[in-house]
Amino acid sequence: MTGPLQDLRVLDCTLALAGPYASLILADLGADVIKIEPPNSADMRLVASEAIEKKSSGSDESAAEDLGPYKGENGKFMVTNRNKRGMAIDLKSDAGKEVFFRLLDTADILVQNFRPGVMERLGLSWEDLRKKKPGLIYCTVTGFGEGSPYGKLGGLDLIAQGMSSLMTLTGLPDSNEPIKTGTPITDMGTGMYGVIGILAALRERDRTGKGQHVEATLLDTPISWLTWRAAEYWESGDIPEPQGSGGGTYRSFLCSDDRWVNIAATSQKLFTVACDVIERPDLLEDERFAVIKSRIKNNKALTGEFQKEFLRRPSDEWIEALKKVGVPVGPINTIADILDDDPHTKVREMVVEVDHPIVGKMKTLGVPVKLSETPGSVDRAAPTLGQHTREILEELNYTEQEIQSMMDSESVRVDN
């Protein structure tokens, strides 16, 4: 691996999405991330994969053949664990724990997102490990964090979206149903905050030589994102309603081809030229829409007026017309639109290919942060279970006899 973090080693004791997403970012930026998994459990490798469920049933020969492009592997696991090396060791066994501690001596960072109490029971908590390695950066990604009265509850993206009020801000104003975002946004955001904390802690370690405990939680993350909605509530005392796709002329509009476009005619100048494009100069003389303050107050009426006009023409014509006069505008893409055909995705290398030992060539997402001198990269697919165990044990100077003994006792798993 190359990249700005290539001299760092990360121990990844994570599952699901939030924790793996944090270590994924570090791996993409060049860190040597070693994913540690139990040798006799596939855990998240078996979750949420229709092809794997067919393979596991084993009752239908045609189903065994119909394993999809991932050939029975879990695509979700592979997308969030690429660029990592995989090591399968039993942290409950004495031999496995000895391996872990030898590995710890070579590591800079540990990321874990097990339920509260798991790492403590294993003797691998922050308090345990800081004594063995004072310079360790220990990142814990949890649902609620230390001191929270909710600390013993299961931390899940859906629960955090609801508790943070995010689900009352998402959806349509005339619907009573709370709506979550279409991707697990608090999981990924918490992983990102974890990385920000890790990089800050590394900077402090550069100065002092001391490591520290970094916490990022699924509930703190979306609370911190309330920003403008929080300001509106504190300013007016009114609870913000669901935002729909926006309001006034900062929102989506349905066009005659049944496709939607987003526009952002937010300033007085942009509103003026947008009214000209839709051939409604009369809106500029309407006192309800004359200035920004009045447009905000009457945003629903303004939306209605614009929507009537957008139904007159297809989406591509509106996009082209608004682009010409400088109004920010864009289509509402499907996931196929953005991943398969979009020129931005191609030129920015946001979809790339890697070689997986079982799947072969497969697509994964690219690195979103571009560095001019030490760019990150996607160099390897997610590991199979125990794929790099032998390689890492040899780096730790274990002999072949010792490796075989640990394999025989199932303290480690080696996937050759």
CA 253, 255, 259 angle in degrees (round to 5)? 90
Measure the N-to-C terminal CA separation of the chain; round to a whole number of Å: 21
Contacts of 374 (CB under 8 A, 6+ apart): 2, 3, 4, 30
DSSP conformational letter for 349: T
DSSP conformational letter for 73: S
Contact 166, 222 (CB under 8 A): yes
Q: Are strands 212-217 and 137-142 parallel, antiparallel or unpaired?
A: parallel
Contact 72, 52 (CB under 8 A): yes
414/416 Cα distance (integer angstroms): 6
DSSP conformational letter for 250: E
Tokens of 3: 């990249």
Contact 330, 319 (CB under 8 A): yes
- Which of 187, 206, 355, 379 is the catalytic position? 187
Contact 406, 95 (CB under 8 A): yes
Number of neighbours of residue 243 by Cβ within 10 angstroms? 15
Active-site residue flag, 276: no
381/362 Cα distance (integer angstroms): 8
60/46 Cα distance (integer angstroms): 19
Contact 100, 124 (CB under 8 A): yes
Looking at this protein, which amino acid is placed at residue 162?
G
DSSP conformational letter for 265: -
Number of neighbours of residue 74 by Cβ within 10 angstroms? 21
30/83 Cα distance (integer angstroms): 9
- Active site amino acids: 187
